[in-house]
Amino acid sequence: MNKPRPRFLAFKGLSRQELQGYAFILPCIFMLLLVLGFPTTIAVLNSFTPLWSEVKTFTLENYVKLAKDDLFWNSLLITFCFVGSTVLLHLTVGLAVALALNAQIKANRFFRVLAYVRMIARRV
């Protein structure tokens, strides 16, 4: 009798078409890891070493300096305030536009045209 071919345990029960799908996205995932993962790993490793030192020792000195710096904390506060206000503004405007588009009023067509013209119009 013919024995079935051994399969990888992770791919057991997958059809040939599903395996082809994984094979097609594998190069993309590899390139994504290479382009994003490698520089991120190098940056994190470099953050633990002194900048102009010839001897590469892993220390937390850079992070201790950063934690003591008032300018860093002020910049972080400004960044969080900016991000929070921007997200809140975008959500509020988006909700208002969605409610205007779905409202049962006479100007319903006007609001829809206004929203679609903005999407269709070329950005300059």
Q: Mean of the per-residue pLDDT values for the chain?
A: 85
Instruction: Give the model's confidence band at 109: pLDDT under 50 very low, under 70 low, under 90 confident, else very high.
Output: confident
**Torsion angle of the four alpha carbons 68, 72, 76, 77, in this order, in degrees rounded to the nearest 10:** 80
pLDDT of residue 95 exceeding 80: yes
Beta-carbon contacts of 48 under 8 Å, excluding residues fewer than 6 positions away, are 58, 59, 60, 62
Instruction: Give the model's confidence band at 79: pLDDT under 50 very low, under 70 low, under 90 confident, else very high.
Output: very high
pLDDT of residue 78 exceeding 90: yes
What pLDDT sits at residue 116?
82
Q: Are 99 and 111 in contact (CB under 8 A)?
A: no
Would you list the domain boundaries of the chain?
13-68, 69-124
The residue that leads in pLDDT, 86 or 122, is: 86
Instruction: Give the model's confidence band at 10: pLDDT under 50 very low, under 70 low, under 90 confident, else very high.
Output: low
**pLDDT (tens digit per residue) in 26-68:** 999 999 999 999 999 999 988 888 777 777 777 888 889 999 9
Estimate the crossing angle of helix 108-120 against helix 70-102, to 10 degrees. 130
What pLDDT sits at residue 101?
82
Q: How far apart are CA 44 and CA 36, in angstroms?
A: 12
CA atoms within 13 A on the CB side of 73: 6
